[in-house]
């Protein structure tokens, strides 16, 4: 990743076709389109690729999560269990529908710890939201069993993991709803965009209306369409969908390249005593966008991240100190520093949530995450393998 590294003639031609027609909006203007509906075509392709009944495109991965929650009836006073390691969009989406994000520890998968999830469930819990960070998945079988036992929604945030699978099912399709991001730095990109998938007819019908001001999309006169419920504007544009349609068709090509590069880097780490690789749940296949491993302690992990950067090895992330992806730097969330006033019920309920997560810190403090790029040639890959071995070996001594 990211897919923009492989932009070519096909992406330019597809986007150019939209510009030539002059129709940049996904709805309406039927006569001008010359039979091309890029968003619809990508939705059909995404549903087919993900083996689900429905797919719906929106403007971002954050929008996909927001629309998914709203379409499932999640809102004021409901609790949504989210991991301490994710992108801020996960809890932003929860807050946007008036629900309460309940932070929960991660384990050596770098995703939700099922044991911690069980302890976090209350009478107000409505959703378990595993986030498949850095291309690999949570223990979905166990989480699905917990969700079923408590009649909860399992919503997969697969924004960083498109192309991975679990027990033969594409990530995003195992739970009730799956969400993806197609922003500029994802494995496949629309430039800006996102999507949700589901087998629920009801959730899909709500989602396609909610993301377009509540339009029911019945008939061929947009101005005469009904509004069965409130909605907002989370539409994707046709140029974005045109680019994403081509990139989605190239997903397996990208995954093959990522796997080859990932495998070479992983072999380096496997030769070093003292390095522990991230656990991938049995039955899971990563999308190989990141290689994650644990150093013996926090100091060695932080040293390695700094040394890799100084050696010219870009794309080595130490998430423990990251502003956007780990709970330690989320004071704006923990203190509920919002530009608009929040309800007293939300504030009271959220403030009762724990703010310390030692189990997560145990794993994240020792974790390094290496971005796997599509653009590396053999010379670059050899150089990265050499630098990775030298730096990590030095840190282990």
Q: Which of 153, 131, 146 is nearest to 200 (CA)?
A: 153
Please give the pLDDT value at position 354.
80
Please give the pLDDT value at position 355.
80
What's the rounded Cα separation, in Å, for the pair 119 and 236? 38
Establish whether 186 is a catalytic residue.
yes
Domains of the chain: residue spans and CATH: 3-250 (3.40.640.10), 252-396 (3.90.1150.10)
The catalytically annotated residue of 34, 119, 169, 186 is 186
190, 247 Cβ separation under 8 angstroms: yes
What's the rounded Cα separation, in Å, for the pair 150 and 166? 22
Please give the pLDDT value at position 1.
81
- pLDDT tens for the chain, 397 residues long, are 889 999 999 999 999 999 999 999 999 999 999 899 999 999 999 999 999 999 999 999 999 999 999 999 999 999 999 999 999 999 999 999 999 999 999 999 999 999 999 999 999 999 999 999 999 999 999 999 999 999 999 999 999 999 999 999 999 999 999 999 999 999 999 999 999 999 999 999 999 999 999 999 999 899 999 999 999 999 999 999 999 999 999 999 999 999 999 999 999 999 999 999 999 999 999 999 999 999 999 999 999 999 999 999 999 999 999 999 999 999 999 999 999 999 998 999 898 888 899 999 999 999 999 999 999 999 999 999 999 999 999 999 9
185, 315 Cβ separation under 8 angstroms: no
360, 309 Cβ separation under 8 angstroms: no
Please give the pLDDT value at position 352.
86
Encoding tokens for residue 292?
């994650």
**Exposure string for 88-106, b = 16+ CB within 10 A, e = fewer:** bbbbebbbbbbbbbbbbbb
Does the pTM exceed 0.85?
A: yes
Please give the pLDDT value at position 278.
98
What's the rounded Cα separation, in Å, for the pair 343 and 47? 37
Please give the pLDDT value at position 317.
97
């Amino acid at each position: 990743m990211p897919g923009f590294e492989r932009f070519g003639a096909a992406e330019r031609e597809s986007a150019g076709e939209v510009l030539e027609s002059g129709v940049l909006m996904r709805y309406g203007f039927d006569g001008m389109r010359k039979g091309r509906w890029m968003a619809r075509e990508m939705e059909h392709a995404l549903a087919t690729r993900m083996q689900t009944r429905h797919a719906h495109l929106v403007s971002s991965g954050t929008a996909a999560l927001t629309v998914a929650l709203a379409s499932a009836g999640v809102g004021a006073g409901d609790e949504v269990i989210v991991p301490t390691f994710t992108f801020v969009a996960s809890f932003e989406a929860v807050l946007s529908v008036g629900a309460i994000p309940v932070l929960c520890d991660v384990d050596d998968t770098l995703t939700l710890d099922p044991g911690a999830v069980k302890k976090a469930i209350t009478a107000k819990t409505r959703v378990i939201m595993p986030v498949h960070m850095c291309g690999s998945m949570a223990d979905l079988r166990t989480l699905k069993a917990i969700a079923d036992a408590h009649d909860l929604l399992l919503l997969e945030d697969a924004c960083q993991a498109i192309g991975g699978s679990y027990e033969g099912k594409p990530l995003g399709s195992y739970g009730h709803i799956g969400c993806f991001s197609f922003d500029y730095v994802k494995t496949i990109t629309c430039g800006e965009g996102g999507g949700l998938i589901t087998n629920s007819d009801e959730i899909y019908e709500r989602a396609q209306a909610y993301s377009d001001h509540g339009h029911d999309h019945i008939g061929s006169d947009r101005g005469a369409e009904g509004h069965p419920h409130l909605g907002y504007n989370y539409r994707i544009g046709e140029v974005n969908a045109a680019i994403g349609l081509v990139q989605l068709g190239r997903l397996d090509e990208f995954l093959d390249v990522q796997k080859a590069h990932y495998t070479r880097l992983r072999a380096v780490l496997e030769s070093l005593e003292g390095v522990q690789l991230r656990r991938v749940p049995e039955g899971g296949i990563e999308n190989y966008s990141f290689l994650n491993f644990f150093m013996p302690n926090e100091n060695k992990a932080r040293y390695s991240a700094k040394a890799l950067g100084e050696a010219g090895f870009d794309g080595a992330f130490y998430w423990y100190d990251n502003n956007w992806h780990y709970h330690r730097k989320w004071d704006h969330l923990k203190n509920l520093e919002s530009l608009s006033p929040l309800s007293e019920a939300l504030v009271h309920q959220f403030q009762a949530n724990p703010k310390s997560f030692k189990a997560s810190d145990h794993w994240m403090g020792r974790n390094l995450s290496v971005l796997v790029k599509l653009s590396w040639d053999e010379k670059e890959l050899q150089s990265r393998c050499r630098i990775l071995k030298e730096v990590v070996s030095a840190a282990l001594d």
